[in-house]
Structure 1
Amino acid sequence: MRGLALFQGMADERLARLTARVTEQQLAAGELLFAQGDVADTCYVVLDGELDVVAHLGDFELQLEICRPGQIIGEMALIDGSPRSATARARAATHVAVLDKGAFVEMLRSNPALTLDLLRSTTTRLRRTSQNMIDDMAAKHAELARAYDELQAAQAERIRLSRIEEELAVARRIQQLFLPRQLPQPAGWQLAAYNRGAHEVGGDFFDCIPLPGGDLGLVVADACGKGVPAALFVALTRSLVRAASLAPAAFQHGGSAQAAPLADTIGLTNDYIATEHGASHMFITLFYGQLNTHSGAMRYVNAGHNSPMLFGPGGVLRSELESSSLPLGIVPHHRFEMRETTIARGDMLLCFSDGITEAMDASGALFDEQRLLDAMRAHADLPAAALVERLVEVVDGFVGGAPQSDDMTLLLIKCEA
């Protein structure tokens, strides 16, 4: 012990008496010398090795200092009689001298200079510990401030996303209002339809427009793209088609005040989109059939859309009304070819978007047209509404739990036998 600075000023006789009262203790790395809160009746002098002095604040551990050879530790609890204010843990194999309270008091009495050095050392350690705690609290405060800022930013982002979701939900409800709430059901005919977007708002739509003279305008369309841009384009196209269909022909070619001819309706819609919105590079595929519900005769234009399927009794495919023109919005003043067909008694016309035939299961396999034909043949005897519902169930059953990849639309027209 004489080799330690702490005892170099002590007389040999007093050091000998002190040494006789001192015991020694060996600590392995990680072993505790004492724990925070322990009752104190000894202090220690580090002879060899090092000790970590740490305080525990809840689950957080704060390092106060490192005690090295020649330093005394644990004396404050002997001075004020309080429990240990910190934990001492060996950093490596450590050797300490153990002084009971009597030996500690004898050491102070025998060497006033030592007492002053100890007081100075204790004061310095308290200042250092206090400063460390202040610095740590400042660091924690800065960390909490950053966390608070991040929380505020996250909250603002959550509010922003929530508002977007609310706005999209409103947009979806508005878009649903664009679809017919009820389909007309002329005597001898059954009409049913279905629409489901892949996102909050969709790029498909169907319409059934009662025209003067008893004709019905049957529309199924699919805008390029998905989401909000496609939905806006759908709203524009649907409004143009309806307005042009119901506009007096006199406004277009000086004819009588009847519904505008089919070719004029499609041409006007296409020219407006291509001329006024050509820079958007958007287009829309569209099938428009003008059905005479008395005779079953139908004139139609298929502008780049999936071919509607005309079925005979028993769900036997009679023909497909194939595309004969470009989609709307690509070329202004495009000449759209008009064709004719007849929906006879017992026949069905199925119009659909590619979200039906291109519905994918988890492996990426497509539902395809053959499965649609099989489903129509298997359930052809159902009423129109039940048949459409069954077709959707078949598609959903094929897809399983895979996410919907595209908007889905069906429009079924059935001529009763």
Structure 2
Amino acid sequence: MEEFTKQYKTLIDKSLAFDYTESLRQECAEFTDEVIKKDVLPEDIVDIHKDYIQHMNLSEARIMTTLEVLQEVVKGFGYSYRDYQRLVNRLQHHDKEIDLAARLQQTMLKTDIPQFDSIQIGAISVAAQKVSGDYFNLIDHKDGTMSFAVADVIGKGIPAALAMSMIKFGMDSYGHSQLPSDGLKRLNRVVEKNVNQNMFVTMFYGLYEEMNHLLYCSSAGHEPGYIYRAEENTFEEIGVRGTVLGVDQHTRYDQQEIPIYLEDLIIIFTDGVTEVRDNNGDFINKSFLLNVIQQYKHMHPQDIVQMLYEELLTIQNPYKRDDLTILIIKRVN
């Protein structure tokens, strides 16, 4: 502050010694930039000015001359404050738009949980920010089959949310059950044609056939799913793999057929679950996730996903969050 006081007094001295020139105006502007960077308040400058001229035997006209320096400096503070206020207003407007986008996304991506006699379903999806890049969908085809998908856009914010909305409408528009390999092939064309080239989508696509208790599934670069085998009390990884959506419109997807037995669980995550970091910044082990599920396997799937989510909250670093989705389907008697 002592250095700023000295610089300001020099500006006053120059205004008294010379006419108020463009050069002095520029020096005042540069001085203002410096004091703003150091969080000096305009009232501090006014106090310096008053203290200095009180010890000088100046005429009223000469005092008015020094006020030109004060006026120029304080004017710089005015510009800075207006710029700041404009920025605040823009941010508030942006936040309102984000809130609106989040509400629209919740409406457009809302999925009802179908009711079946022989399966129970639990799902949870939590956005890290106001809008999510995760998505899950469940479609009861009213013919004893159910399509389901869990997807993750490699991207954030409103563009990711728009991409997810488009994928949901693409999936819902089929109007009938179809094999996952065909479903991914069609969605891949939609993404490749309509989504930004730098944005890709991973998806696990399944079709559950209630009559024969068969799971047909395909994957587009998504996190591997798991089957919990109740009779053996073990987990097996679903081995189907594939290319992420949006890379090549001619991509074909492999398909796996898996029998589901009584009390077995079908478990699908997004990477916001499998890549959770603890407070030390380390990734949690997948065995932790599976052990939690195994601990609560006797419960309804909705209770299982809720318990798993709460366990993750207790160990997760809050500053390293990602969108998170868990889907569990359980065959019951």
Which bin holds the TM-score, normalised by the shorter protein?
0.7 to 0.9
Amino acid at match of 1:413: I
Match of 1:265 in 2: 183
* TM-score computed with the length of structure 2 as normaliser: 0.79
CA distance in 2, matches of 1:218, 1:346: 19
Aligned pairs for 1:125-136 (under 5 A) are 125-127=57-59, 130-136=60-66
Match of 1:405 in 2: 321
Match of 2:192 in 1: 274
Amino acid at match of 1:209: I
* Higher strand residue share: 1
CA distance in 2, matches of 1:260, 1:381: 31
Superimposed CA distance per residue, residues 63-113 of structure 1 (whole angstroms, 9 cap, x where no aligned partner): 23xxxxxxxxxxxxxxxxxxxxx569xxxxxxxxxxxxxxxxxxxxxxxxx
Structure 1 position 161 matched with structure 2 position 91: yes
Structure 1 pair 264–323 and aligned structure 2 pair: CA distance change class (3 A): closer
Structure 1 pair 241–368 and aligned structure 2 pair: CA distance change class (3 A): farther
Aligned pairs for 1:342-357 (under 5 A) are 342-357=259-274
Instruction: Please tell me whether the aligned partners of residues 180 and 208 of structure 1 are also in contact (alpha carbons under 8 angstroms).
Output: no
Greater relative contact order (Cα < 8 A, sep 6+)? 2
Match of 1:80 in 2: none
Equivalent position SS for 2:136 = strand
Structure 1 pair 274–263 and aligned structure 2 pair: CA distance change class (3 A): same
* Higher helix residue share: 2
CA distance in 1, matches of 2:223, 2:145: 23
Deviation at 1:262, TM superposition (A): 3.4
Deviation at 1:184, TM superposition (A): 1.2
Q: Which of 287, 299, 303 is the aligned partner of 2:204?
A: 287
Superimposed CA distance per residue, residues 40-62 of structure 1 (whole angstroms, 9 cap, x where no aligned partner): xxxxxxxxxxxxxxxxx995443
CA RMSD of aligned residues (A): 2.3
Deviation at 1:385, TM superposition (A): 1.4
CA distance in 2, matches of 1:184, 1:303: 24
Match of 1:319 in 2: 236
CA distance in 2, matches of 1:403, 1:197: 13
Match of 1:171 in 2: 101
CA distance in 2, matches of 1:325, 1:294: 28
* TM-score computed with the length of structure 1 as normaliser: 0.64
Structure 1 position 383 matched with structure 2 position 300: yes
Q: Which of 183, 208, 214 is the aligned partner of 2:144?
A: 214
Q: Which of 194, 211, 220 is the aligned partner of 1:303?
A: 220
Instruction: Please tell me whether the aligned partners of residues 241 and 266 of structure 1 are also in contact (alpha carbons under 8 angstroms).
Output: no
Deviation at 1:145, TM superposition (A): 2.2
Structure 1 pair 87–143 and aligned structure 2 pair: CA distance change class (3 A): closer
Give unmatched runs, 5+ long, in structure 1.
1-56, 65-85, 89-124, 247-257
CA distance in 1, matches of 2:221, 2:72: 62
Match of 2:312 in 1: 395
Match of 1:233 in 2: 163
Equivalent position SS for 1:280 = coil
Structure 1 position 140 matched with structure 2 position 70: yes
Aligned length: 288
Structure 1 position 63 matched with structure 2 position 52: yes
Superimposed CA distance per residue, residues 371-398 of structure 1 (whole angstroms, 9 cap, x where no aligned partner): 1011111221222111111000111111
Amino acid at match of 1:144: V
Q: Which of 172, 182, 186 is the aligned partner of 1:242?
A: 172
Structure 1 position 202 matched with structure 2 position 132: yes
Instruction: Please tell me whether the aligned partners of residues 292 and 298 of structure 1 are also in contact (alpha carbons under 8 angstroms).
Output: yes
Amino acid at match of 1:332: Q
Instruction: Please tell me whether the aligned partners of residues 306 and 323 of structure 1 are also in contact (alpha carbons under 8 angstroms).
Output: no
Structure 1 pair 190–156 and aligned structure 2 pair: CA distance change class (3 A): same
Structure 1 pair 343–225 and aligned structure 2 pair: CA distance change class (3 A): same
Amino acid at match of 1:262: P
Structure 1 position 362 matched with structure 2 position 279: yes
Which of these two proteins has the greater Rg computed from alpha carbons?
Answer: 1
Q: Which of 333, 338, 347 is the aligned partner of 2:250?
A: 333
Give unmatched runs, 5+ long, in structure 2.
1-44
Amino acid at match of 2:306: E
